[in-house]
Amino acid sequence: MNIPILSTKLYIPLPRTNIVLRPRLVERLNEGLNRKLTLISASAGFGKTTLVSQWVPSCKRPVAWLSLDEGDDDATRFLTHLVAALQMIAENIGEGVVGSLKSPQPPSIESILTILLNEISTIPYKFVLVLEDYHLIDSNRIDTALIFLLEHLPPQIHLVIATREDPQLPLGRLRARGQLTELRANDLCFTPGEAATFLNQVMGLCLSADEITVLENRTEGWIAGLQLAALSMQGREDIPAFIRAFAGDNRYILDYLVEEVLQRVPNYVRTFLLQTSILDRLHGPLCDAVTNQEEGNARLEFLERGNFFIVQLDDRRHWYRYHHLFAEVLSSHLRADLPDQVATLHLRASKWYEQNGSPADAIRHALAAKDFTQAADLIEMACPAIGRSGQWAVVLGWLKGLPSELVHCRPVLCVWYAGALLAGGKLEAVEDRLKIAEKWLESMTGMRDRLEALLGKMVVVDEEEFRRLPGSIAVFRAGLALVLGDVPATVKYAQLVLDLVPEDDHLPRGSAAALLGLASWRSGDLEEAHRMFADGISTVQLAGAIPDAINGAIALADIRIAQGRLRDAMRTYERGLQLAAENGEPELLGTADIYVGMSELHREHNDLDSATQHLLRSKEQGEHTGFPQNRYRWYVAMARLGEAEGSLDSALNLLHEAEHLYVNDFFPNVRPIAALRTRVWVAQGKLGDALDWAREQDLSAQDDLCYLREFEHITLARVLLARYKSDRANHSILEVMGLLERLLQAAEEGGRKGSSIEILILQSLAYHMKGDSPAALVPLERALTLGEPEGYVRIFVDEGQPMIALLEAAVKKKIALNYVRRLLTAFGRAEDKPPAKQVMIERLSEREREVLRLLRTDLSGPDIARELIVSLNTLRTHTKNIYGKLDVNNRRAAVRRAEELDLF
């Protein structure tokens, strides 16, 4: 569903011509431009917005402004308006993001922010982004997004946040780093001089210095209090008496002053203020609809001229809002003075928003009016579009606002409730909602003479959705079963969808077929999984869901990779990109994930440059078009690329980042991060950590085998081989050999050629460790036979020095000569060159690589030590280690040797 941009949220409030100039605060704000964040935090009425709007013209930078409201708790709406605000600076920024936010499966917030940050970093000038009223945001997701934004903020942008309460940001860390400027209530309070200027010049009073001091002390410089006091004093004869009686805490003062103000304005203005206090934004025609009058624009202009706490939202004087605290007090007076009108006013607002194409606002006001029937009608009509756009949290919030007994009489809403709960991970309540809807359907198929009575209780607004309920219920049940790992139930309900839904209803039929494919994938039947999932995606594509079709291409390629059919997987990725191009959107949602997948294939083929370029393409061109798993997949691919380049510490760090980004979905997680990390530990020789992982996962060589844990059991075999290399215990090698034999049988029976190749390689290495070279060549030859047609390289090369010895033995036996020579070349040497001259026995650490890069320069030893901020003795230790690992004895030889090994 398209989210309309409220342009009024993007306008910078115009500073009034007659205001108190505050050069001390403007100077503070200008000084803060060299830091990341300026936080202006104080309760209502301290002039935060006025100060920033006064400062904007003097900061000498372009300014993007976003006024936030409670509706911005929805991440999609927040990001949509954030992009719109940034486009006030650079009109082309975030164009791809806007398109992806409209998709049924928008990318993660971090994905969107990453592309925005990359685009911001290309802007050739510095600018300011202001987030006004951030206290209205109550979303952990948006708080987390803002933290991500601050952590990666390019120097072009300075962020200003105006809020009533401190946001959930790492303010302590920002202070410690000198990256934060803060203005708080004590800073914003009027000084006595500013208070005098405000009261006498701005508000037109003639107060003595003593009277100003009394007011300033009793309000503690609180600007709103002074403004209300000034309004109350206008036209009053005994001002000294009023000032003497002016006492109490701020809340009671505010109530008293507002009442004083309201009593001093004409009744029609007072009524207008009270009646329109229910509105978040004020617009002449909207106010007319709510008040049932015809002078809304004139009333708003009058209030603006009279300083009635009204804020102009655009430069055409079409949209306004009340000062938030002023609106709250007006609302309290409305409930006290005109309680019978509150519901009517909200309903009028709801009707206006409904007629003007804003269903979300219409629903909000209907709920506020407690007209739950009207709200339910609106929700039922809005749910299909909003639900299909992925805004399930919005749907859930609406439905929670309705009485449960009302929802229970609306089967369509019950099913949407189930879908929203499923999307939100609240699985335990999904089945209850589906059963309620199902009972209505069962009742209607029973006794005909009960039909009229039943219809008298049951309510249906969207008849088309009602007719689709049996299929919708079955789809959600299949999805619920899949998430819970119940494959038989997934199959049962997905098949039911196909039985119930007409042939031309492509979306649910395609979803059901895809779910059947996913069920087969989880079971390890990859060929059936590919067939069913491909059928499902083709059907979904007929419904026009192109992003879903691209997402399907990613899954289909993953299945082909597991089958060892790398070339088919690459063709699948290429078809996905072609599909996006044919629809005129080469950066369509999902293309970022395709580039990550292509990178993995290039890495396996040992084309590390192309692998890197595809990851950069994903990040720079299309990361904003990624599905929720894209960031996770990207970091994993980067980690595996780092492994291939020998950067094991970096690989571990990347895997750590990936672990926090994992989003559970319907695709099976067949390569858990913990297992990937354990493989790096094995490569680093950290046997203790690897054994701890096996114990924590309760893995043993005697386990029953299943596809979902195949990768973990192969990883366990690697751990056990590393243990045998350490203890040389005969029972250890027998244990791992037995496990590998069972794994190989399962992989071959399941048609998982990729796993078979790796298992055969491990068998070969196991025999090699035992010193039985002839036996080692048997599984190696089978692995080579399987790997050559698909161009496998890294699966062999990543095994390091032992594989070199095995491949050289294969050359002597004339096994797959051309292929083996290519593999040996991938090690950086031909088979006839001594390995000691071309391949390092031990990899360099990250620090040693830094030292090596500096050894290649003209810097002296002391200069290098200063560059690295280490002592000269520490540098000598690193240099000695490098010489030992490279088998050289001087700096020039080390550089030459590193160049031979392509370490630079």
Query: pLDDT grade, residue 308 (50/70/90)?
Result: low
Is 90 exceeded by the pLDDT of residue 25?
yes
491: which 2 tokens?
């199959």
Mean pLDDT, residues 582-591 taken together = 68
- pTM exceeds 0.75: no
CATH 3.60.110.10 is the classification of domain 846-900: no
What is the side-by-side strand order in the sheet with 319-322?
Answer: 282-283, 319-322, 310-312
CA neighbor of 621 nearest in space, from 588, 581, 597, 652:
588
Task: Answer for the pair 412, 469: CB distance below 8 angstroms, yes or no.
Answer: yes
Residue 249 pLDDT class (50, 70, 90 cuts): very low
Model confidence at 281: pLDDT above 70: yes
Q: Residues 6 or more apart from 431 whose CB is under 8 A from it? A: 418, 477, 480
pLDDT band, residue 250 (cuts 50/70/90): very low
Q: What is the pLDDT of residue 391?
A: 65
Distance (Å, whole) CA 866 – CA 409: 75
pLDDT tens string 47-59: 889 899 989 988 9
Q: What is the pLDDT of residue 305?
A: 63
Range of 303-317, 518-532, 861-875 with top mean pLDDT: 518-532
Residue 6's φ and ψ, nearest 5 degrees, are -85, 95
Averaged pLDDT for residues 344-362:
93
- Given this model, what pLDDT does residue 856 score? 82
**Is the pLDDT confidence value at 330 over 50?**
yes
**pLDDT for residue 871 is more than 80:** no
Give the H/E segment covering residue 45. none
The CATH class of the 267-364 domain is mainly alpha
Are 637 and 603 in contact, with CB atoms under 8 Å apart?
yes
Q: Give yes or no for residue 744 having a pLDDT over 90.
A: yes
How confident is the model over 63-118, as pLDDT tens digits? 999 999 887 888 888 888 899 999 999 888 887 777 777 666 667 788 888 888 99
In the predicted structure, residue 446 carries a pLDDT above the cut 60: no
pLDDT attached to residue 260: 63
Cα–Cα distances (Å) from 583 to 95, 550, 612, 754, in that order, read 17, 12, 27, 33
Higher pLDDT, 770 or 863: 770
- What pLDDT band is residue 279 in, cutting at 50, 70 and 90? very high
CA distances from 887 to 149, 494, 840, 874, 881 (A): 46, 62, 8, 20, 10
**% residues pLDDT > 70 (the chain):** 89
Closest by CA position to 607, among listed 817, 757, 758, 793: 793
Task: Report whether pLDDT(563) > 50.
Answer: yes
**pLDDT over 90 at 194, yes or no:** no
Structural contact between residues 249 and 218, judged by C-beta atoms closer than 8 angstroms: no
Rounded to whole angstroms, how far apart are CA atoms 732 and 725? Answer: 9
pLDDT given for residue 829 in this prediction: 40
Cα separation, 445 vs 694, whole angstroms: 55
The pLDDT of residue 218 is above 90? no
343 φ/ψ sector (left φ>0, alpha ψ -120 to 50, else beta): alpha
CATH homologous superfamily for the domain 7-188: P-loop containing nucleotide triphosphate hydrolases (3.40.50.300)
Q: What pLDDT score was predicted for residue 599?
A: 94
